[in-house]
Amino acid sequence: MQAPAVRQTLAIGSQEFLRFAEGRSSGLANGHRTRWSKLAAMPTKRSGSIHLTRVAGIDLYLHWSWFVVALIEIQIRRGSYNSVIWNVLEYVALFGIVLLHEFGHALACRQVGGKANTIMLWPLGGVAYVDPPERPGAVLWSIVAGPLVNVALFPVFLGAWYAAWHAGWRNTNLDAYRFLANLMWLDGILFVFNMLPVYPLDGGKVLWSLLWFWMGKSKSLLVASWLGVVGTAGLLVLGIWGGSIWTILIAGYMGMSCWRSIKYAQEMMKVDQLPRRDEYKCPNCGQAPPVGEYWKCDLCNERFDTFATRAVCPHCSKHHPATGCPFCRRMGLMEAWGVQPKWVGSATVEHEQPIN
Ligand SMILES: [Zn+2]
Ligand SMILES: [Zn+2]
Ligand SMILES: [Zn+2]
């Protein structure tokens, strides 16, 4: 059921929350970006990305800026090999490792019943657009699986380097030998950096999902995001001190992401405190809907409580067969929420339901 999804817009509390909800229903065609990557300011796959291929049902995109940065980076690193070809190979291999890491996230997310249809590579790394089920365990596994790929790759690179060392490539085939040694280091550095407990890095998200088990989703996200701000500030200082433009850029990107997560967590905490209708449950996340006029009719633009009126707008009598969840942002048919249809046989029927 696709069409009704955009008819009813959640309008809870502040504008921030409303914009967020609207982004879900209209801005994102596929709606499978995760809570955390959705919050991050980064190029979307529609703005200047090349569709490379589709593997296991996952679309792979490459942002155009990757090429620009690749040229600059390869230029800077010239001289570490005798032939620049090896610099190119090393840069491509780095993103090959990043890509495998993102596939780790995407496949783990699918394994636990979530959605993951897109991976994008851009100069600062890769992004897997994953939407795991709203359970801390499912989120934890979707995050941990990425760095685990780096762990699994390490012995492979170590073995290759050791074999090259054993074969005496250091004297006979120096570029290839350095390449293998660098791959091993890159994989190790990627793992260590990603596992820093600084939101929105994987380590920070691991911390978030662990805290989620005993603090709940919103509070744990707030704590992890504030710790992320502290860590990001530290990274920013390091970047300025070391004169590394990339560290500064990554810190800036992380800081923005933390800020948006804090805003989101605060909005979610407000929603958490609302009284609920325990007789109904979201078919997607199992949460009971809040009591109050938090739904907006797209026909008359008035707010109403769709669970009090059983999905009929009291202002214009429009029937809304599907409803958005304020907790997981997904749409579900009212019957799936546990609401018995009241519109059967009424004068304002849009979609008549058969009576069993
Ligand atoms: Zn990751
Ligand atoms: Zn839900
Ligand atoms: Zn209406």
**Do 188 and 211 fall within a single domain?**
no
Residues in CB range of 78: below 8 A, 6 or more apart: 84, 87
- What is the largest distance, in Å, between two alpha-carbon atoms of the chain? 88
Counting ligands in written order, which one lies closest to the CA of residue 311? 3
In sequence order, the 6+-apart residues with CB closer than 8 A to the CB of 144 are 108, 202, 206
Give the pLDDT of residue 21.
Answer: 29
Q: Is 350 inside any structural domain?
A: no
- Rounded Cα distance between 160 and 136, Å, is 37
**Residue 24 located in a structural domain:** yes
Domain that holds residue 288: 1-31+276-345
CA dihedral 164, 169, 174, 177 (to 10 degrees): 0
Range of 11-20, 65-74, 138-147, 315-324 with top mean pLDDT: 138-147
Q: Are residues 191 and 144 in the same domain?
A: yes
| pLDDT attached to residue 255 | 94
266 and 127 in one domain?
A: no
Domain count, the chain: 3
Whether residue 286 is contained in a domain is answered as yes
Q: Residue 133 burial by CB count (10 A; 0-12/13-18/19+): exposed, middle or buried?
A: middle
Average pLDDT, the chain: 80
Higher pLDDT, 92 or 26: 92
Dist. CA 264 → ligand 3 center (Å): 28
Residue 355 falls inside a structural domain:
no
Under 8 Å between Cβ of 91 and 62? no
Cα 325 to ligand 2 centre (Å) = 4
Does position 258 have pLDDT exceeding 90, yes or no?
yes
What's the 320 CA to ligand 3 centre distance in angstroms?
Answer: 9
107 falls within a domain: yes
| Domain match, 21 and 73 both | no
Instruction: Tell me: do 96 and 151 sit in the same domain.
Output: yes
Shared-domain flag, residues 80 and 210? no
The one-letter amino acid at 8:
Q
- Rounded to an integer, what distance in angstroms lies between the CA atom of residue 60 and that of residue 52? 6
In this prediction, what percent of the chain has a pLDDT beyond 90?
42
Q: Give alpha helix (H) positions in 112-242.
A: 136-166, 169-172, 174-194, 202-215, 217-242
Confidence at residue 1, expressed as pLDDT on a 0 to 100 scale = 31
Q: Averaged over 222-233, what is the pLDDT?
A: 96
Is the domain of 208 the same as that of 268? yes
Ligand 3 center to residue 26 CA distance, Å? 19
Average pLDDT (102-127) is: 91
- Asked which of 212, 240, 273 is the last residue of a domain, the reply is 273
Tell me if 351 is assigned to some domain.
no
* Positive/negative CA dihedral, 264, 269, 270, 274: positive
Based on the domain organization, do 44 and 189 belong to the same domain? yes
Q: Residue 234 is encoded by which pair of tokens?
A: 């530290």
| Domain assignment of residue 356, yes or no | no
Asked if residue 232 and residue 325 are part of one domain, the reply reads: no
Residue that terminates a domain, selected from 144, 175, 195:
195
* pLDDT band at 342; cut points 50, 70, 90: low
Do 60 and 152 have their domain in common? yes
Q: How far is the CA of 147 from the centre of ligand 1 (A)?
A: 6
Same domain, 79 and 191: yes
Quick one: pLDDT at residue 297? 86
Are 174 and 74 contained in the same domain?
A: yes
Cα 44 to middle of ligand 2, angstroms: 25
Q: Which of 195, 225, 247 is the last residue of a domain?
A: 195
User: What's the mean pLDDT in 312-331?
Assistant: 85
Please say whether the beta carbons of 315 and 299 come within 8 A. no
pTM over 0.85: no
Distance CA 17, CA 155 (A): 46
Q: Which ligand has the shortest distance to the CA of 193? A: 1
Calpha distance 130→143 (Å, rounded): 10
Q: Count the Cβ atoms, other than its own, within 10 Å of residue 172.
A: 10
Question: Position of tokens 């749409």?
Answer: 331
Which contiguous run of DSSP H or E holds residue 245?
helix 245-272
Whether residue 256 contacts residue 40, with contact meaning beta carbons closer than 8 Å, is answered with yes
Mean pLDDT value of segment 63-85: 86
The reply to whether 354 falls in a domain is no
